[in-house]
Structure 1
Amino acid sequence: MEQTQSLVLVITTVETASDAGVLSRALVGLSLAACVQIDGPITSHYRWAGEVQQSSEFRLMIKSSLSAWPELRDQIAKLHPYDEPEIIMTFIDDSSEGYRNWVIDQTT
């Protein structure tokens, strides 16, 4: 499969359902994401500023194309309410042809 037809899954978390909705609508509206699913609340445990923390968050699972990834990453960083947001991208190795075509169509 050529790179322009590759799909990616991007994950980030935010503090509130409202923040998740705002970010999701923006990314789909900008045609950088074909679909964003929101899970939560989830509980996150992490170290921040030298202290172990625990907080409730909402996880966004963003389906997009590899060609949209650089701008998607930049927009998440720009629009995200956290000082240092989690932005993780992983390649989708395989999908149904129809779904892949739909994601590519929505993000180009």
Structure 2
Amino acid sequence: MNRAEARNKRIVLVTCPSVARARKIARAVVQTGLAACVNLIHSPVESFYTWKGKLEKAREYLLVMKTSAKQLPALENEVKRLHSYDVPEFVALPITEGSKKYLSWLNESATGPRKNRK
């Protein structure tokens, strides 16, 4: 896989209010083929942000999703559907390089919407 092909892959960051919500989202997006892999960071991150003009602080759990650029719109829709926040974090970063075997596997695994598998 060359650099151009690697650039079609994305790392997506999503924060969740609980481990349970994070697991639900992770399972759903992998089972449906919207992401090849999702890492759930079990240690909470402390997030600071403004919401409706007020400074907020929250303990959140970070999901690191690996997917293809083609799957981003459907992945974002699924995250929004399953998330409890009005405005969930959904930030996609390009993968510029990586292991040829891993990126090939990612390409084969993030194939897009399909029926849930058990």
Q: Give TM class, smaller chain.
A: over 0.9
Deviates more, 1:98-107 or 1:67-76: 67-76
Q: How many Å apart are 1:79 and its aligned residue?
A: 1.4
Question: Aligned residue for 2:16?
Answer: 14
Q: Which of structure 1's runs of 4+ aligned residues deviate more than 3 A? A: none
Structure 2 unaligned runs (5+)? 112-118
Structure 1 residue aligned with 2:33: 31
Distance 1:36 1:2 in 2: 20
- Say which is worse superposed, 14-23 or 70-79, in terms of deviation: 70-79
Length, aligned pairs only: 107
Distance 2:49 2:73 in 1: 27
- Structure 2 residue aligned with 1:58: 61
Q: Does 1:44 align with 2:47?
A: yes
CA distance in 2, matches of 1:51, 1:69: 30
TM-score, normalising length: structure 2: 0.85
Q: Give the Cα–Cα distance (whole angstroms) in 1 for the partners of residues 105 and 5 of structure 2.
A: 16
Q: In 1, Cα distance between the equivalents of 2:88 and 2:57?
A: 16
| Matching residue's letter, 2:20 | S
Unaligned runs of 5+ in 1: none
Give the drift of 1:36: 0.6
Q: 1:101 aligns with which of 96, 100, 104?
A: 104
Percent sequence identity is 32
Instruction: Report the CA distance between 1:65 and its aligned residue.
Output: 0.9
